[in-house]
Structure 1
Amino acid sequence: MTSRVKQYFRGEQSAPGERKLLFKLDAFILTFCCLMYFLNYLDRSNLNNAYVSGMREDLNFKGNQLNQINTVFTVGYTIGQVPCNIALYYIKPRYFFPACMVAWAGLTMATAGAQSPGGIMAIRFFQAIFEASTFVGTHYILGSWYTERELGKRSGIFTASGLAGTMIGGFIQTGINSSMDGLHGLSGWRWLFIIDGIITLPVAIYGFFLFPDTPRNTKAPYLSADEKALAISRVPEVSERTPISWRFLKHCFSTWYWYFFVVLWIIAGETESFSTNALLALYMKSHPTKKYKISQLNNYPTGVPAVGIVSTLFWATLTDFMGGKRYLVGYWIAITGVITSAMILAYPNSTSIHFGAYYWAGSVYACQATFFAWANDVLRYEEDSLRAVVIASMNMGSNAVNAWWSIVFYGANFAPRFTRGMWAMISVSIAMAIWCTLLLWQQVRTEKRREVESAAIAVVEKEQDLPRMQGHESADNKV
């Protein structure tokens, strides 16, 4: 067992130069994607931080207008999923990703000038379209470069970077609010958006010059010709077809991959609702007996993404080590969702139990890395265009449901108890366990069929080679 662990963390690179290639890929692909996702989530989560730090009062928010803004963002984010991934076929990633970053950085800074909830709503819609490129685009890129054995860890690190943006955003808002509130006549929450936009631009420039695109079209100066050939040889060679055609769409919707993985992520997206809807912050803001300071409202909820980071890295590494058993995370999420919801329902007046349940619920963030790695694993032997569309459709389906789910079950006007949401969480958690079992069953069936087909092809090829070999032997005998 100890030798297996050592071998796993050292890597199983066997081809000459593979370790050096992986180091370069991690240095340029993983660092850029993690920085991009960190800033993506920082921009996104800081709306909630600004809301509890004076924006609600300054802009006179009413009822569940915050949820309505988040819903509009979700609509824009949903619209952008598939087009952004298809765009990667026609625009090189090192151009496309930085261009999207510059656009959302500008819109983030524009949020600082908003004078009403409606103004923020319009900005967030267009911001979401550009931010849609990051998550699904990165998972497509990771699946293009890394092997099944390497993918989980990298997906986990990437996802953890987004959670770090959520966590650090609270501390940044606390610092800005204490040191810059009122500077040049601007509130602290307005400075937050200005600074977020400014720090995004250098990362976009870094990606423009150094991101390596994909193995078959890379022109990265730091990769030698041998390393480029090795990168291509590490991933299966698959057939290719254009992602924009009626024939391709018919093929896409005739496979089980699209339906099973899209439904999986729709369910998983709603098991993350405790965290993605910032319920702990809303619970604290609307607490019936306690009045929390702004620093507490920003800092205490950071424990949720902190738990998510630990959980993500743990499960991504463990499922890699166990040979890709990503479904185990689904069962963990099901247990977590049922128990934490039951705790909040059973003890509605216990502040400590609410905090404990929300922190524990942060561990369900592990599904982001593992489920998209699962999709990449299963689709590894299918054409890239299908893999790209399935991955994008997963996030599109989830966000299409999120657009109304958060208002129906987790509206700010339901704080601090969210009783309706607790029952919804129990339901989707049970559905998660059932769906993971069905998906695993379908995956095993497909792998067995692929093995049978491969064996049959090998037999046919052997039979075709036999006459040629006999002919060569006869010619040798005559000589």
Structure 2
Amino acid sequence: MAGFKSKLRDYLHTEYRPGERRLVMKIDFFILTFCCLSYFTNYLDRSNLTNAYVSGMKEDLGFVGDQLNQINTCFTVGYVIGQLPANMSLHYIKPRYFFPSMMVIWGCLTMITASVHRPQSIMAIRFFQGIAEATTFVGTHYILGSWYTERELGKRSGIFTASGLAGTMIGGFIQTGIYQSLHEKNGLTGWRWLFIIDGLITIPVAIYGFVFFPDTPQTTTAFYLTAAEKELAIARVPAVEERSPVSLGFFKKVLSSWYWWGFVGLWIIAGETESFSANGLMALYMKSHPTNKFAVWQLNNYPTAVPAVGIVSTLFWATLTDFLRGKRWLVGHFIAIIGVVTSAMVLAASRDPANAASTTVVFAAYYLAGTVYACQATFFAWCNDAMRYEDHMFRAVVLAGMNLGSNVINAWWSIVFYGASMAPWFKRGMWAMIAMSIALTIWTGGLSFLDRRNSKRREMVHGESTPVNVDVDVDVDAKSV
């Protein structure tokens, strides 16, 4: 108990160098505010499609079959195409200009969606919106890894990811409010007003980024950082050589590294454990319920508890894995258990759909599945931790590759396993979730072994201190896994 209290005091009372606390407060304010607001509007614009679908868009535009999933696939294809080029562009274009510019583009495309008259038009818009949004998630994780130390990174990654979940959660309440107050206002239905208002919310955040976002420690010209603070920001993170990514040798290094295959594979598997939440399955379940008829406000409001649970889970695990010296792999095993349990609950409920208890079980399963969102922050922080001593663009490309690999699978995964026509039970998807959960715990175990071995080797060769993602009792932990 005394040892735990000592660790807790050490965790809560970080020792800073002169001026470092003030620097961290500044970058927390200016980086996290923009990144979180950006990701909030990003997910607000994404989640509004399902909100609009269950609020009248399906009937107004004559959706049939799995066209909703096909729209999501078009977005994902654009997202995949834009991943690596967008993240590599950060080597040539200052993030202060690049990030906000992409925000303006996707905000305008969101507003244009309000004018469509058929599903095919939304498919085209979402494709280009996916390209514009491609750099937001992994690009931000690259920026966070450039400014924050290992001890600080998990919590900040968690706060960033939680902001996206907040966008998903609040989107349902926004749609409810819009539907009640603006439906048929000036001849526009409530779901069309949703796209207009969500797009308008994005523009001021982009303007804020143009003015205040500080780029990276090596390139920042932020007016609110003193010369001493800029030097301190560079000294806080490992000094690595900047290399141009445009070379055959660079790509050979990437594709032959365990970082690429290990972390890309991790996020391909883990990304699909988010399918319950990411594909809006609870709303589709309610829309196609075998016995109950839910009102529009219920269709929009009840699913908001899923990202709410995700926010709590994300912040909890991000903080806990920081406290446990970066043992991000714990989340992989937790998520695997949740994936199996929630799938089994839905499959069991489908055997007696008319029973009132069946609905209760399914609601509980989807709310519990929201805890799986914790993998976003922790797994990208894990990659940042593991690659902290590699060159910047190597780390940027692996981070982009993680999201790229996951979305390549997402492009067809939702149609095959979670098509709107498969509602309300998505039985094929439930079995796929169980399989991916089992694969995740196996992959997590193998990757944590490679990470620990690499950390030990680096410490022996270069004489570096043990990084935070390796505890001093690592041999004991390895035996207990």
TM-score with structure 1 setting the length: 0.94
Instruction: State the secondary structure of the residue aligned to 1:380.
Output: coil
Alignment partner of 1:424 out of 412, 428, 432: 432
Matches within 5 A, 1:65-464: 65-348=67-350, 349=353, 350-455=358-463
Residues 371-410 of structure 1 show CA distances to partners (whole Å, capped at 9, x for unaligned) of 0000000000100010000000000000000000000000
3-state SS of the aligned residue for 1:221? coil
Specify the code of the residue in structure 1 equivalent to 2:5.
T
Equivalent in 9, 13, 28 of residue 12 of structure 2: 9
CA offsets 1:441-478 (integer angstroms, 9 cap, x no match): 1111111211221249xxxxxxxxxxxxxxxxxxxxxx
Work out the CA distance in 2 between the residues paired with 1:410 and 1:446: 38
User: Which amino acid letter does the alignment assign opposite residue 198 of structure 1?
Assistant: L
Report the Cα distance in structure 2 between the residues aligned to 1:210 and 1:455, rounded to whole angstroms: 38
Identity %: 69
**Paired letter, 2:224:** Y
Q: Tell me how far 1:282 sits from its aligned partner.
A: 0.4
SS at match of 1:218: coil
For 2:469, the equivalent position in structure 1 comes to none
For residues 6 and 187 of structure 1, the distance between their equivalents in structure 2, rounded to whole angstroms, comes to: 55
Which string of whole-angstrom CA distances, capped at 9 and with x for unpartnered residues, describes residues 208-247 of structure 1?
0110000001000110111100000010011232112111
Greater shift in the superposed pair: 286-295 or 231-240: 231-240
CA distance in 1, matches of 2:346, 2:289: 14
**RMSD between aligned residues:** 1.0
Alpha-carbon shift at residue 133 of structure 1 (Å): 1.5
1:385 maps to a residue whose letter is: M
Q: Hey, what's the Cα distance between the residues in 1 that align with 2:432 and 2:183? A: 39
Q: 1:56 aligns with which of 43, 55, 58?
A: 58
For residues 277-335 of structure 1, the C-alpha deviation after alignment (integer angstroms, 9 at most, x for no partner) is: 11100000000100000000000000100000000000000000000000000000000
| Structure 1 unmatched runs, 5+ | 457-479
Measure, in 2, the Cα distance between the counterparts of 1:297 and 1:243.
47
Give runs of ≥4 in structure 1 deviating > 4 Å.
Answer: none
CA–CA separation in structure 1 for the residues paired with 2:439 and 2:109 = 38
Give the partner amino acid of 2:371: S
Decide whether aligned partners of structure 1 residues 24 and 169 sit closer, same or farther in structure 2, where only a CA change above 3 A counts. same
CA distance in 1, matches of 2:249, 2:338: 42
Q: Deviations over 1:193-214 (max 9, x none)?
A: 0011111111111100110000
One-letter amino acid of the counterpart of residue 85, structure 1: N
Q: Distance in 1 between matches of 2:244 and 2:141?
A: 20
Q: Distance in 1 between matches of 2:285 and 2:256?
A: 44
Secondary structure (helix, strand or coil) at the match of 1:182 reads coil
Aligned length: 455
Aligned counterparts of 1:455 and 1:227: Cα–Cα separation in 2? 28
Letter in 2 for 1:438: G
Residue aligned with 1:98, SS: helix
Amino acid at match of 1:299: N
Q: Name the SS for the 2:90 alignment partner.
A: helix
Q: 1:190 and 1:243, CA in 2 relative to 1: closer, same or farther beyond 3 A?
A: same
Shift of the alpha carbon at 1:7?
3.5
- Quote the Cα distance in structure 1 between the aligned partners of 2:6 and 2:28: 24
- 1:3 deviates by 4.6
Structure 2 SS opposite 1:46: helix
Please report the TM-score for the alignment, with normalisation by the length of structure 2.
Answer: 0.94
What SS class does the counterpart of residue 183 from structure 1 fall into? coil
Give the aligned residue type for 2:216: T
Question: 1:141 & 1:54 partners in 2: Cα distance?
Answer: 39
Residues in 2 aligned to 1:342 and 1:393: alpha-carbon distance in whole angstroms? 31
